Amino acid sequence: MSRLVVISNRLPLGDNPSGGLVVALQDSLRNSGGLWIGFSGETPSEPADSLEYHPGAEYQRASFDLTPADHEAYYLGYSNSVLWPLCHGRADLTDIDPDYGEGYRRVNARIAALVAPHIRPDDRIWVHDYQLFPLAAELRARGIGNPIGHFLHIPFPGPENCAVMPDPHELFEWLSQYDLLGFQTHRDLANFTESARQLAELIPLEGNRIRLCGRELRRDVFPIGIDTASFIEEARTAQDVDRMRSLTGAQMMIGVDRLDYSKGIPQRFRAFQLLLENHVEFHEKISFLQIAPPTREEVEAYQDIREETEHLAGRINGQFATVNWTPIRFIHRPLPRNVLAGLYRQARIGLVTPLADGMNLVAKEYVAAQDVSDPGVLILSRFAGAAETMQDALVVNPHDPHEMAEAMAQAMHMTANERRQRHSVLLRDVVEHDVSWWSARYLDALAGAS
Annotated catalytic residue, options 71, 88, 128, 153: 153
HSE (side-chain half, CA atoms, 13 Å) at 133: 22
Opening angle at CA 184, ends 391 and 380, nearest 5: 30
Q: From CA 51, how far away is CA 57, in angstroms rounded?
A: 19
Per CB under 6 A, the list member of 365, 406, 429, 434 interacting with ligand ADP is 365
Q: Does 340 bind ligand ADP (CB under 6 A)?
A: yes
Query: Could you say which of ligand F6P, ligand ADP, none residue 23 binds, taking C-beta under 5 to 8 angstroms by partner kind?
Result: ligand ADP
Long-range contacts of 104-109 (CB under 8 A, 24+ apart): 104/73, 104/74, 104/77, 104/78, 104/79, 104/134, 105/134, 106/70, 106/73, 106/74, 107/66, 107/70, 107/73, 107/74, 108/74, 108/132, 108/133, 108/134, 108/135, 108/138, 109/134, 109/138
Q: Does 316 bind ligand ADP (CB under 6 A)?
A: no
Q: Does 20 bind ligand F6P (CB under 6 A)?
A: yes
Query: What order of strands is seen across the sheet that includes strand 328-331?
Result: 328-331, 286-291, 251-256, 349-352, 377-381, 394-396
Minimum CB–partner distance for residue 281 and ligand ADP (Å): 31
Annotated catalytic residue, options 27, 65, 357, 429: 357
Q: Are 432 and 418 in contact (CB under 8 A)?
A: no
Number of residues that bind ligand ADP (CB under 6 A): 19
- R_g of the chain, CA atoms, integer Å: 22
Q: Does 224 bind ligand F6P (CB under 6 A)?
A: no
- Specify burial of residue 164 (Cβ count, 10 A radius: 0-12, 13-18, 19+): middle
Minimum CB–partner distance for residue 324 and ligand F6P (Å): 37
Q: From CA 183, how far away is CA 155, in angstroms rounded?
A: 8
Neighbours of 244 (CB within 10 A): 15
* C-beta nearest to ligand ADP: residue: 20
Q: Does 340 bind ligand F6P (CB under 6 A)?
A: no
Per CB under 6 A, the list member of 114, 152, 347, 361 interacting with ligand ADP is 361
Per CB under 6 A, the list member of 23, 136, 271, 313 interacting with ligand ADP is 23
Rank residues 354 and 376 by Cβ distance to ligand F6P and give the closer one.
354
Q: Does 32 bind ligand F6P (CB under 6 A)?
A: no
Rank residues 21 and 390 by Cβ distance to ligand F6P and give the closer one.
21
Query: Which residues are paired to 378 by β-bridges?
Result: 350
Query: Could you say which of ligand ADP, ligand F6P, none residue 359 binds, taking C-beta under 5 to 8 angstroms by partner kind?
Result: ligand ADP
List Cβ neighbours of 259 (8 Å cut-off, separation of 6 or more). 265, 292, 293, 294, 295, 302, 305, 306, 309, 332
Per CB under 6 A, the list member of 19, 89, 166, 293 interacting with ligand F6P is 19
Query: Could you say which of ligand ADP, ligand F6P, none residue 368 binds, taking C-beta under 5 to 8 angstroms by partner kind?
Result: none
Residues in region 211-240 near ligand ADP by CB under 6 A:
none
Q: Are 217 and 176 in contact (CB under 8 A)?
A: yes
Minimum CB–partner distance for residue 275 and ligand F6P (Å): 29
Query: Could you say which of ligand ADP, ligand F6P, none residue 341 binds, taking C-beta under 5 to 8 angstroms by partner kind?
Result: none
Which pairing describes strands 60-64 and 52-54: parallel, antiparallel, or unpaired?
A: antiparallel
Minimum CB–partner distance for residue 39 and ligand F6P (Å): 9
Query: Could you say which of ligand ADP, ligand F6P, none residue 16 binds, taking C-beta under 5 to 8 angstroms by partner kind?
Result: ligand ADP
Specify the stretch interacting with ligand ADP by CB under 6 A; choose among 14-22, 50-58, 137-145, 161-169. 14-22
Specify the stretch interacting with ligand F6P by CB under 6 A; choose among 15-23, 308-316, 387-395, 429-437. 15-23
Minimum CB–partner distance for residue 267 and ligand ADP (Å): 16
Q: Does 360 bind ligand ADP (CB under 6 A)?
A: yes
Query: Could you say which of ligand ADP, ligand F6P, none residue 93 binds, taking C-beta under 5 to 8 angstroms by partner kind?
Result: none
357 is catalytic: yes
Residues forming contacts to ligand F6P in the complex (CB under 6 A) are: 10, 19-22, 129, 153-154, 258, 295-296
Q: Active-site positions? A: 153, 357
